Amino acid sequence: MVDVTGIFGNIGLQLFILMLLAFSAYQARSKKMKIHCNLMAAALFLQLLTIVFVMSPSFLAHSGMQISIQLLLELWVHHIAGILVMLLVIYINLAVKGSVHFLGEPYRLMKPVALLWFLVLLGGMHISISLYPDL
């Protein structure tokens, strides 16, 4: 039996995180960097919670499932890109705060990382829908 509530709950949470990212980007463009940083921290925290408590158990549950090579490749690209996004967000945050030395300007990485995060979110939603096409 498929847990429809969990699937739609996760997709709903991902949409909320996407809205947080969009509002955070707006705050950055408005030069309200403290609000931007707080929103990004909240988005990162929520994303990490969903990875640990929703996505990882779901991935392990589907590890024995017969899925297409295309979907399996999409899953791995999603996981690797997602890990990269989380590490880059943490690294940029630490660089902006001055906790780590950054080669170059950390602000130049923000837009590409935001775009990658957006693509990973969309890819994850596509994976969820692909795993349960009858919902």
Structural domain containing residue 8: 4-131
Number of domains in the chain: 1
State residue 135's pLDDT score: 64
- pTM for this prediction: 0.80
State residue 107's pLDDT score: 75
State residue 24's pLDDT score: 92
Of 89, 85, 105, 103, nearest in space to 37 by CA:
89
State residue 59's pLDDT score: 67
State residue 62's pLDDT score: 63
Tens digit of pLDDT at every position of the chain (135 positions):
456 566 777 788 888 999 999 999 999 889 898 899 889 989 999 999 888 887 777 766 666 667 788 888 888 899 899 999 999 988 888 888 788 887 777 778 888 999 999 999 889 888 888 877 766
Q: How far is CA 62 from CA 24, 67, 75, 112, 131, in A?
A: 33, 9, 11, 31, 9
End-to-end CA gap in the chain: 12
